[in-house]
């Protein structure tokens, strides 16, 4: 096999002009798929003259015998061999005692292509040759997608405002496009990342209606450079007003009262979807009484494990001593059950406690 020393740059697209291959035209029109050994004769030469011979051979050797002086001087053939493994090849053999660039034959292994020209007397020359090199490809992955909207919003909440989308990405170089898919609103085109790191982008939402009970689903849908689609995890947001029994209640009762005396209508300072976060004491009367702070958490939402004030721990689940609150499980209030965390009577407070920020987890 002679050394291939005709570098080809660019993509050769064969077409027929007379008996010559040119860099234009419809490749499928002139393509001949070959899966077996071929001997070219004067009878079948027009099947192969000036054509694109396409091989996919995964094992062994297929031979292409160019025949004994059956071509016309100046005829060209383009031969391409694609294989899924390196064990298959194609051997191109001149007819008679002819040569291809001074070699008795040439072997095309995986992903080799050549353009050859007939010189007469069964001799051929290689006009160009190249090996196709596959660009490394890895399917992109989007994970840990989130958007800064809670898991539930009240009816008539305006979501057509700027929100922040965050996600992690790997194999970003394989991404062609990204879209924030909003099931009941307008989709938004996202910036295609250029690095495999955590991403954050501000997006102005539009087309979202929250006037009735519904669910909103957000996810990122991408298209890779091969045209395949992929998507992130989905975020589902409920649109509904939360019933009182599904909320965590924060309030106060008299120091002489117990959890059985809690009445949300009279005693609540605030109610929220969940208990985690900061709560600010307010509304304690300026009188001679002392009061006990409470949280009433729906049993389905679990229990408070820690309360602190300015970094100082007031309550921690499992603490042997020093807790200022006591947890009472499964307390029935208004026909629903709650886990109540109640300030001990010995630690009851007065109106001076208003404005105190308590951090709960």
Residue 56: both structure tokens together:
């996919």
Q: Are residues 146 and 97 in the same domain?
A: no
CATH number of the domain residue 51 falls in: 2.60.120
Among 239, 258, 280, give the residue marking a domain's end: 239
How many domains does the chain contain in total?
Answer: 3
Segments of the chain with pLDDT less than 50: 1-28
Asked whether residue 9 is domain-assigned, the answer is no
Q: Which of 98, 131, 164 is the last residue of a domain?
A: 131
Kindly state the DSSP code that residue 193 receives in the 8-state scheme.
P
Are residues 215 and 251 located together in one domain of the fold?
no
Q: Assess contact for 144 and 167: CB atoms under 8 A.
A: yes
The dihedral over CA atoms of 326, 327, 328, 334, expressed in degrees to the nearest 10, equals 110
**Structure token pair of residue 65:** 């015998």
Confidence at residue 85, expressed as pLDDT on a 0 to 100 scale: 59
DSSP states of 29-85? TTEEEE-S-EE--TTTHHHHTT-EEEEE--SEEEEEE--SS-SPTT-EEEEEEE-SS
SS3 state at 213: coil
110-143 as b/e, with b when 16 or more CB fall inside 10 Å?
bebbbbbbbbeebbbebebbbeeeeeeeeebebe
Identify whether residues 309 and 353 lie together within a single domain: yes
Q: How far is CA 73 from the centre of its chain?
A: 56
Q: Is there a single domain that holds both residue 126 and residue 58?
A: yes
User: Do the domain assignments include residue 3?
Assistant: no
Q: What is the extent of the structural domain holding 183?
A: 141-239
What is d(CA 361, CA 351) in angstroms, rounded to the nearest whole number? 25
pLDDT of residue 257: 96
Identify whether 253 is part of a domain: yes
Does residue 262 share a domain with residue 234?
Answer: no
- The distance of Cα 228 from the centroid of its chain, to the nearest Å, equals 12
Examine the domain organization and report whether 280 and 354 are in the same domain: yes
Same domain, 107 and 145: no
Residue length, the chain?
A: 361
User: For 195-238, what is each residue's pLDDT tens digit?
Assistant: 998 999 999 999 999 999 999 999 999 998 888 899 999 999 99
Domain boundary among 239, 262, 284: 239
Q: In this structure, is residue 2 part of a structural domain?
A: no
188 located within any domain: yes
Do 249 and 235 reside in the same domain of the chain? no
**Do both 218 and 190 map to the same domain?**
yes
Give yes or no: residues 248 and 220 share one domain.
no
222 and 280: one domain? no
Instruction: Give the separation between CA 219 and CA 258, rounded to whole angstroms.
Output: 47
For residue 50, tell me if it sits in a domain: yes
Is pTM beyond 0.85 here?
no
Q: 68 with 151, same domain?
A: no
CATH of residue 179: 2.60.40
């Amino acid at each position: 096999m002679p050394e291939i020393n005709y570098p080809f740059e660019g993509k050769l697209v064969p077409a027929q002009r007379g008996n010559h291959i040119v860099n234009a035209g419809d490749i499928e029109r002139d393509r001949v798929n070959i899966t077996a050994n071929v001997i070219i004769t004067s009878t079948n030469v027009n099947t192969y003259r000036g054509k694109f011979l396409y091989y996919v051979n995964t094992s062994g050797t297929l031979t292409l015998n160019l025949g004994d002086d059956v071509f016309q001087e100046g005829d060209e053939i383009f031969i391409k061999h694609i294989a899924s493994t390196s064990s298959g090849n194609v051997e191109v053999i001149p007819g008679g005692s002819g040569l291809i660039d001074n070699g008795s034959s040439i072997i095309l292994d995986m992903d080799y292509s050549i353009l050859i020209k007939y010189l007469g007397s069964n001799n051929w020359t290689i006009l160009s040759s190249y090996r196709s090199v596959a660009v490394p490809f890895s399917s992109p992955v989007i994970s840990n997608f989130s958007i800064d909207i809670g898991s539930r919003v009240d009816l008539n909440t305006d979501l057509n405002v700027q929100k922040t989308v965050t996600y992690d990405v790997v194999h970003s170089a394989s991404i062609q496009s990204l879209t924030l898919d909003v099931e009941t609103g307008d989709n938004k085109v996202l910036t295609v990342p250029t690095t495999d790191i955590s991403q954050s982008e501000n997006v102005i939402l539009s087309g979202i209606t929250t006037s009735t009970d519904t669910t909103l689903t957000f996810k990122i849908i991408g298209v890779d450079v091969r045209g395949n689609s992929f998507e992130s995890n989905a975020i589902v947001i409920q649109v509904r007003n939360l019933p009182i029994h599904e909320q965590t209640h924060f309030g106060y009762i008299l120091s002489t009262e117990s959890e059985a005396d809690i009445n949300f209508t009279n005693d609540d300072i605030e109610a929220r979807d969940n208990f985690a976060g900061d709560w600010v004491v307010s509304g304690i009367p300026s009188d001679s009484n002392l009061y006990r702070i409470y949280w009433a958490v729906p049993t389905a939402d679990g229990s408070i494990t820690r309360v602190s004030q300015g970094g100082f721990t007031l309550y921690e689940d499992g603490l042997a001593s020093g807790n200022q609150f006591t947890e009472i499980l499964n307390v029935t209030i208004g026909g629903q059950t709650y886990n109540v965390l109640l300030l001990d009577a010995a630690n009851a407070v007065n109106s001076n406690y208003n404005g105190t920020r308590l951090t709960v987890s």
